[in-house]
Structure 1
């Protein structure tokens, strides 16, 4: 399959132990393709995420998602239901050691696009810092 331009909508919610909640909702144009049975979603982060200058690649396998960020911030985080994965989030200011335990994952992708839903807990130093829900929608980018 050829790489194609798609509209990517990302909605995220983080609930902190004290009950506070942060929400993100942004849209961007990116690339989407399938190679050797896995889907790839590539986009540039923006001011909306606070990560200007970062390129994000999502590799979507049957029951696993790998997030790879490169640029002014770098991170490689794997999400797989029931498995705790460790990562390091590196910025010019500091490195933060994180781990993510995925509770739920729903992948509904075809060559035309689709959606991914993730529900996971994020930890640092084995202390829970947030419960997260992430929804990613992929639609073919139609010319205006």
Structure 2
């Protein structure tokens, strides 16, 4: 059964030159469990710089797959200790991206929960940044 949820995404990106970018946003989406995997679906907003794109997260026991479709198309796998490659495709260019997941904590039930990721991001085999991502999922209750 698909249910409406409130999603909070908090991220920190630390670049090799010491610059730090942070993001903290909330949105409404949907959440469901199919067999052993959880699915989170939401629309990107202006706040993320990807307005008009749809994001689907497929979360397994020790693996998270991000699929983003729309203005940019991107599929990335996060799995502790594994380096995964993909192409980030926009109407302007295609960039070869990789992630190396250092840590992953998944604590989800059918009522919601949280996910924490710590990973390194690479573009064209050059390290771009160290990243920390926290995703909190709660049932969306009418106010």
Q: TM-score, normalised by structure 1?
A: 0.98
> 1:101 Cα deviation (Å)?
0.1
Distance 2:8 2:124 in 1: 31
SS at match of 1:48: helix
1:110 maps to 109
Contact (CA 8 Å) 2:95, 2:124: kept in 1 or not? Answer: no
Distance 1:40 1:11 in 2: 19
1:24 maps to 23
Extract unaligned runs of 5+ from structure 2: none
1:86 maps to 85
Runs of 4 or more off by more than 6 Å in structure 1?
A: none
> 1:36 Cα deviation (Å)?
1.0
> 1:125 Cα deviation (Å)?
2.0
Residue correspondence of structure 1 range 56-75 to structure 2 within 5 A:
56-75=55-74
1:37-87 Cα deviation digits (max 9, x unpaired) = 100000000001000010000000000000000111100000000000001
Contact (CA 8 Å) 2:36, 2:60: kept in 1 or not? Answer: yes
1:132 maps to 131
Distance 2:60 2:111 in 1: 16
Q: TM-score, normalised by structure 2?
A: 0.99
SS at match of 1:28: strand
Distance 2:53 2:124 in 1: 25
Distance 2:35 2:70 in 1: 26
1:15 maps to 14
2:52 maps to 53
- Give the length in aligned residue pairs: 143
